[in-house]
Amino acid sequence: MLAINFFPFVFSFALFLGASSEYIADLSILAFTGKPVGKVVPIDGLDLYVSMPRNQSGKTNGATARTRFGVLLLTDVFGIQSTENKLLVDSFARAGYVAVAPDLFDKKPKSEEPMAGFNATEFLKAHGPAVTDPKVEKAIAYMRDKMDIQKIASTGYCFVGRFAFRALGLPQNKGVQVAFAAHPTLLGDDEIKAIKGPASLALA
Domains of the chain and any CATH numbers: 2-202 (3.40.50.1820)
Segments of 52-150 assigned E as strands: 69-74, 98-102
Segments of 27-127 assigned E as strands: 39-43, 46-51, 69-74, 98-102
Query: Over 9-31, what HEC string results?
Result: HHHHHHHHHCCCHHHCCCHHHCC
Which pLDDT band holds residue 20 (cuts at 50, 70, 90)?
very low
Partners of 164 in the β-ladder: none
H/E run at residue 199 = strand 199-202
pTM: predicted TM-score of the whole model, two decimal places: 0.81
Residue 108 reports pLDDT greater than 90: no
CA 171 to CA 4: how far, in whole Å?
Answer: 30
- Express each pLDDT in 22-80 by its tens digit: 555 466 667 677 899 999 999 999 999 999 997 544 455 555 545 589 999 999 999 99
CA 166 to CA 140: how far, in whole Å?
Answer: 12
- Cα→Cα distances 126→14, 29, 109, 122, 148, Å: 35, 35, 11, 6, 32
What is the reported pLDDT for 179?
A: 96
CA atoms within 13 A on the CB side of 47: 13
Name the 3-class secondary structure at 137: helix
- Express each pLDDT in 117-136 by its tens digit: 778 888 888 899 999 999 99
Residue 165 reports pLDDT greater than 60: yes
